Amino acid sequence: MKYLMQTLSSSGATASGGIAMSKRGAMKLQIQLFYKQLTEGCGKQHCTNENCASNSSNKKLSCDEAAAQAILLAKNKVELCNDHRSKIARTDNLRSDMRIYNNGLRENAEETPATTLDIKNIAYLFHKVPLLKEVVCRSCPDYCTLWKYCTTKQASVESMCLPPLKQAISNVFSNSKLLNRQTEDSKQEQPTSAACATNNLNSAAPKTIKTVPYMPTVDMTFFRTLFVHILEDEQLQEALNEAVSKLIHEVEKEVSRNPNQYKTDPNYLNLIVIMLECPLMQSPESLEEVFPTLLKIVAKLPLATQVALVHHWSMYDGNQLRNIIETIQQLIAYQVAMNYMDETDRAAHNDETIINASKALNILYFSSILGGEVDCTRDEQGAAASKLMRDAAPAGEDDFHIGVIDAGDWVSDLGKELKLVGLDSIEPLVPQTEFVNEALNDVIKIDKDYANYRISQQGTNKYSFLHYPFLLTTLSKTTYLFYDNRVRMYSERRRTLMSSLFSGSAINPFLKIQVRRAHIINDTLVQLEMATENLKNLRKQLYVEFDGEEGADEGGVSKEFFALMVEEIFNPANGTFILVEESQLFWFNPESFEGQMQYKLIGIILGLAIYNNCILDIKFPAFLYKKLLGRRAKFRDIKDIYPVVYRSLCDILSYSGNVEQDMMLTFRVEYSDIYGCPHTHDLKKEGNKIPVTNSNRQEYVDLYSDWLLNTSVEEQFNAFLGGFELVLSKSPLKYLFKPKEVELLLCGSEHYDFKELEDSADYDGGFTRDSQTVKDFWSVVHELSEEEQKTLLQFSTGSDRAPVGGLSKLKMILARNGPDSDRLPTAHTCFNVILLPDYKNKIKLRERLLKAIKYSKGFGML
């Protein structure tokens, strides 16, 4: 709830002019003041208030704790510190600008106090803002005399310079033409070295910008500095606030009357860029009305002007961009807190303010990607190989997937125009986690939102958060994927029933696999090979039967099936995969005797696991999931699986001596396979004749990395990828998830919090949370070793991994299974149910439970 906490720290009441605050507004303001008092203090040294951060005896509260405490104090009408005042937040970047300019203006002088507007700052402000100076001259006939006096005497700023300056700010910021004139005036001045330093803050090198239509022409370094000086005085703040409010509402009306104005007047982009960085947008008053109106203007921008903004903002450094993002996220959290936390039928995807904020964040999201390190290269060879494999498989009957979304539809229009997707980002300006809004995810009704997305793909204007997946948590995206997979399964079931009616023969609506435990690999591969004769079979719901065992597959049998398959597939004795000792991860065996069909069918197994929502205990390097999403592995990925090799290559790159003479390397590499047989490979033609030198060592490292991670296992991996995509080629997987999220989706989490499992558990058959046997059970569980706890998970759910979102998402059920007896506990893994006799004491419960989880395996043996 990160942004909800930030919202509570700045949420206040709507107060415009002489309009009185509403009761709700007054309460919000109280919460705001208490939150600031609890987190920042009142500013008074040695404050004695026990609810103030300035009290040295108080412990520091987290955001969550402070927010909860603030609500409680406001509800109980506790008194605030006398000296506590609500102040408009200032960004670190603005403070930095202020220091740079003040230092350039006044050498060896102390920094201006935050509450005083220095005369020299007034002089500087007039000097740097010629348009303001012009307006002041018109407002005050004796301006020149006052100006001379102000710059030579220590006169009172408030009594002599402030009124005309306040009028000037009001005039300029309430008139779009005057504001854009100021933009032109400010750009005519040569930037100082300090300004350049500020503009390139945190940038490793000057950025180049692509020329696109409608580019903003504003110099934001100038305006950031101007805002800093205005914020030094409350009267100037008030003038700016009133002017900005008037300007934004007038622009919004003008845009509504003439929406095509965007295409001919780039001044609107200047206004947007300036206003989004105005610190007053973070104030409580702005969050109520002004800022949502500004985002409404942004949301109406046509695609060409969105592209222009992306390129403009990509020139910012991360801190500057983050300030804008945090303000928008704060607004979303504010809307959620005020309107959707009471669990009513209201849906966030119908909220105009949240919709407009999402569209604005979409522009910033691509700006962050474009301005950072980007790799847009695709694994064309892998994609071509997997396409050939899919094309080689018979298509089967006509597709009855009515309304099922094609994978390409998941890419946003802005992403298509920029030719960028989230996977292209290596190191964005702002981490992608900063775009996730947890407060919003808590109130999204995913089933309705997914339905809206499907409807929107048929040409309607329905809004869905799936248009902007960067807002979503991994858990939310997993739930969306679950719905999408289920829709495909039900579509196939409906198609099968239709085919049965027309053909007159019974067709199984499930992908049914019947296997013998002793021959699970061979039985599965044979049946999957038969299933691929019609690709639509792979999109049916999986149904597994173990030969000679009872147990209807409601999910639990499939979980055990996948667990046994993985155990066999990754058995090093089979030679299909090798276990890399230094990392304890599995990788493809380049010298494997297995054919492409074997790897293809293994890829199908992994695809079916994701499609049927099953978690596998597999240990691939993290970059494999990047390769599954269509990207080639790079040099930086070697450290995941071959850390020693990675360090050696780094040593080559950083070596200060003569690489050719001291290391005597060539572009031919020598290696041994798992059987001990020596091999060689030329990274370039006649590589043994090409020495590695200081000038070509980067090429050597890149070629070696590509061979080690891609080329050497190309045949095996491409077959594996082809099988994976036979199942998931139409899935939104690669457009919703990042590689780390795919790993979490497929492998689950190894973070086990059994307290979460206990808190989320339900009870049945006469058990309650207060039953003695229930208390004994959880006491025993918390005392188990980690391996025993994982075995318990395997026993009760069919998997020893925690799903996305943690153990609380399992929803375990403890059901009473009769009175005390010597019977062992049993489980329905399909529904995460443990059937527990009402044992007479904890000792007996522990003994019976440990025996059950250790020796139970299979179905029909309980």
Write out the catalytic residue numbers: 830
Q: Token digits for 157? A: 């700023």
Q: How far is CA 706 from the centre of its chain?
A: 29
Cα–Cα–Cα angle for 827, 549, 857, rounded to 5 degrees: 45
Contact status, residue 122 vs residue 165, Cβ threshold 8 Å:
yes
Contacts of 591 (CB under 8 A, 6+ apart): 673, 674, 675, 677, 679
User: With the C-alpha atoms ordered 435, 438, 442, 447, is the resulting torsion angle positive or negative?
Assistant: positive
CA nearest neighbour of 199 among 218, 180, 213: 218
Torsion angles phi and psi, residue 242, rounded to 5: -65, -40
Sheet strand arrangement including 833-836: 762-764, 813-816, 833-836, 826-828
Please name which of 514, 531, 482 lies closest in space to residue 723, comparing C-alpha atoms: 531
Instruction: Give the whole-angstrom CA distance, residue 31 versus residue 8.
Output: 7
What is the spatial distance between Cα 497 and Cα 503, in angstroms, rounded to a whole number? 10
End-to-end CA distance of the chain: 44
Q: Pull the structure tokens for residue 515.
A: 């296997």
Cα–Cα distance for residue pair 162/143, rounded to 1 Å: 11
Residue 323 CA to residue 246 CA, distance in Å, equals: 23
Angle at 775 between CA 786 and CA 64, to 5 degrees: 70
Bridge pairing between strands 826-828 and 833-836:
antiparallel
Q: Tokens standing for 723? A: 């099988």
Separation of alpha carbons 699 and 376, rounded Å: 19
Q: What is the token pair recorded at 249?
A: 């509402």
Query: Which residue, among 695, 670, 665, has the nearest Cα to 681 in the 3D structure?
Result: 670
Provide the CA 733 distance to its chain's centre, in angstroms.
15
Residue type, 147: W
The four Cα atoms 635, 640, 642, 647 give a dihedral, to 10 degrees, of 60
Judge whether 551 and 557 are in contact, CB under 8 Å: yes
133 contacts 170 by C-beta, under 8 angstroms: no
Under 8 Å between Cβ of 688 and 682? yes
Instruction: Catalogue the E-assigned strands of 567-638.
Output: 577-580, 585-588
Parallel/antiparallel/unpaired status of strands 668-672 and 425-427: unpaired
Closest CA to 248 of 268, 224, 277, 222: 268
- The neighbour count for residue 458, using CB atoms within 10 Å, is 9
Q: Which residues of 732-756 are buried (b: 16+ CB within 10 A; e: fewer)?
A: bbbbbbbbebbbbbbbbbeebebeb
What's the maximum distance between 2 C-alpha atoms anywhere in the chain? 104
What are the beta bridge partners of residue 587? 578
Q: Cα-flanking dihedrals φ and ψ of residue 681, to 5°?
A: -145, 135
Distances (CA, A) of 32 to 25, 27, 58: 10, 9, 19
Q: Could you count the other beta carbons within 10 Å of the beta carbon of residue 391?
A: 8
Structure token digits, residue 836: 């527990």
Per-residue tokens: 398:
């006509």
Distance in angstroms (rounded) separating the CA atoms of residues 36 and 299: 32
What is the Cα 432 distance to its own chain's centre?
Answer: 5
